[in-house]
């Protein structure tokens, strides 16, 4: 058996490719070897000419490989592999006309050494590309939306600019873009990390595996792996909010009365959530979801001691009062105010946290503001006193009242009409300016 044919069979087994596929890759490599360096691409205008005028025959029975060149008879030869001058000796007399075709066949082993080396290089590169293409298809079918382990190889660059990190995934290379990496994380070259496979992106014919450690689905998939109750649907994740590199809050819920969703996520000795924390490198708060806003806030701010929660439902603002000591205030705020800010994001509310001392000062200020508002609005003789009191208690300051619309009064104050509302707004605007 020819050594080349024998190698085809070995390559087929080693690379998990069909024998015919290996042979076809080789045939294309032979054809491309006769094109000029730098122009061996299917995008080149001469590509179809080379593909059609060079024929490779692999004959297993005769243990032989031959190359046949279909040469065009031309006046001026630019490539003597696929062209021949009409006055050349190799052109039969009856073929000496422009546009005629002749055939020249040679054995593969008789090709010049430089051509043979070129075929070998192109063949290996083409096999690598074909193998990579198959791996991409398998990866695309099985791994998108999954978590994989990859090794940080180095920084990924594009047009001389760093765009992220190159990640080795078995025989493939993924990209962790900057926007998908955690800002406070430092990735050590040669170290393994877990990544979420976000997508396969194609740019100018080149496919890229885009990885992420920022995507919310990364956390969801981690929790599914660690917590059977989430994987099986007994516990649902209502919302995830995150301060990358510092803290993440995960609101969970279960329709099963006897199932504690927070306890299920934590696991015995909090081992389940600890496994996720090690991957993320962040503090993780698992929060019991509630439709009761005050209850939801308390659940989110645990273990902070909450003394009072005052809600402004119209503006979705919450004032939270804690004892006047560093420990409770620190618990409630969290590092870089992450606990406070993430609680606000979890609820979709604006959150303010103050101590009980500050709250008393705020109450006194509010009380004085209400008294001032009452005094100013009491000067309007056509406005009943009970309406004045209700307006002052509802909106507190003249500055706030001056910003309101007539509809705001009609919706929030009983026994008030449009005429009264206009007079109150006009009066508030006058005194608010002072």
Rg (CA), the chain: 38
Query: Are the CB atoms for 68 and 35 separated by under 8 Å?
Result: no
Please say if the pLDDT value at position 43 is more than 80: no
Question: In the prediction, which pLDDT does 1 show?
Answer: 47
326-360 in b/e form (b: 16+ CB < 10 A) is eebbebbbbeeebbbbbbbbbbebebebbbeeebe
Confidence of residue 240 (pLDDT cuts 50, 70, 90): very high
Q: Is the pLDDT score of 212 beyond 60? A: yes
What pLDDT score was predicted for residue 39? 59
Predicted confidence at residue 284, as pLDDT, reads 94
DSSP string, 267-298: -GGGHHHHHHHHHHTSEEEEEE--SSHHHHHH
- Band (pLDDT 50/70/90 cuts) for residue 300 is very high
Model confidence at 44, pLDDT cuts 50, 70, 90, reads low
Above 70 in pLDDT, residue 24?
Answer: yes
Q: pLDDT for 327-367, tens place per residue?
A: 888 889 988 899 999 999 999 999 999 988 888 888 788 78
CA atoms of 30 and 208, how far apart (whole Å): 29
Q: Is 165 helix (H, G, I), strand (E, B) or coil?
A: strand
Please write the tens of the pLDDT for every residue from 376-403. 888 887 888 888 888 888 887 888 888 8
Give mean pLDDT, residues 240-258: 94
Residue for token pair 């020819």: 2
Q: Look at residue 37 in the predicted model and tell me its pLDDT.
A: 64
Mean pLDDT (whole number) for 258-275: 92
Give the residue among 286, 328, 272 at the shortest CA–CA distance from 303: 328
**Interval 195-205 mean pLDDT:** 86
Report whether the peptide linkage leading into residue 27 is cis, meaning its omega lies within 30 degrees of zero: no
For residues 399 and 284, the model is more confident at: 284
* Domains in the chain: ranges and CATH: 3-139 (3.30.1480), 145-214 (2.40.50.140), 378-433 (1.10.150)
Classify 303 as helix, strand or coil. Answer: coil
Give the ranges where 34-184 is alpha helix by DSSP (H).
47-53, 113-142
Distance of alpha carbon 320 from alpha carbon 295, whole angstroms:
12
Query: Could you tell me how far CA 233 lies from the centroid of its own chain?
Result: 24
> H-type helices in 227-355, by residue range?
228-231, 261-266, 271-280, 293-301, 326-333, 338-347
Quick one: 203 exposed, middle or buried, by C-beta within 10 A (0-12, 13-18, 19+)? exposed
Q: Which of 3-17, 116-130, 204-218 has the lowest mean pLDDT?
A: 3-17
What average pLDDT does this structure show over 260-275?
A: 92
């Amino acid at each position: 058996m020819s050594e080349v044919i024998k190698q085809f069979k070995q390559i087929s087994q080693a690379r998990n490719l069909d024998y015919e596929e290996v042979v076809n890759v080789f045939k294309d490599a032979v054809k491309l070897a006769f094109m000029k360096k730098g122009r061996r691409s299917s995008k080149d205008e001469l590509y179809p000419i080379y593909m059609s005028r060079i024929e490779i025959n692999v004959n297993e029975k005769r243990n032989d490989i031959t190359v046949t060149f279909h040469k065009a008879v031309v006046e001026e030869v630019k490539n003597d592999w696929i062209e021949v001058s009409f006055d050349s000796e190799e052109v039969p007399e009856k073929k000496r006309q422009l546009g005629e075709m002749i055939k020249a066949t040679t054995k593969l082993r008789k090709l010049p050494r430089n051509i043979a080396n070129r075929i070998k290089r192109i063949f290996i590169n083409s096999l690598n590309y074909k193998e990579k293409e198959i791996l991409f298809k398998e990866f695309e079918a099985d791994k998108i939306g999954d978590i994989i382990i990859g090794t940080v190889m180095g920084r990924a660059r594009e047009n001389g600019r760093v765009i992220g990190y190159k990640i080795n995934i078995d025989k493939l290379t993924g990209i962790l873009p900057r926007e998908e990496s955690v800002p406070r994380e430092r990735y050590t070259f040669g170290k393994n990390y877990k990544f979420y496979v976000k997508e396969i992106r194609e740019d100018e014919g080149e496919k890229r595996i885009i990885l992420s450690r920022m995507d919310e689905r990364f956390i969801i998939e981690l929790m599914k792996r660690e917590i059977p109750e989430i994987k099986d649907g007994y516990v649902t994740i209502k919302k995830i909010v995150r301060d990358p590199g510092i803290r993440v809050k995960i609101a969970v819920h279960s329709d099963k009365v006897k199932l504690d969703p927070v306890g299920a996520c934590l696991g015995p000795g909090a081992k389940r959530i600890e496994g996720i924390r090690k991957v993320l490198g962040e503090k993780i708060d698992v929060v019991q979801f509630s439709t009761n806003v005050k209850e939801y806030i308390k659940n989110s701010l645990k273990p902070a001691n909450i003394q009072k929660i005052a809600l402004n439902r119209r503006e979705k603002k919450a004032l939270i009062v804690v004892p006047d000591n560093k420990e409770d205030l620190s618990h409630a705020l969290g590092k870089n105010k992450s606990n406070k800010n993430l609680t606000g994001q979890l609820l979709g509310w604006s959150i303010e946290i103050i101590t009980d001392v500050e709250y008393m000062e705020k109450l006194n200020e509010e009380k004085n503001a209400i008294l001032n508002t009452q005094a100013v609005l009491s000067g309007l003789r056509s406005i009943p006193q009970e309406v004045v009191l209700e307006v002052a208690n509802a909106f507190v300051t003249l500055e706030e009242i001056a910003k309101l619309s007539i509809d705001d009064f009609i919706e929030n104050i009983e026994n008030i009409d449009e005429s009264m509302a206009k007079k109150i707004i006009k009066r508030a605007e006058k005194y608010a300016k002072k």
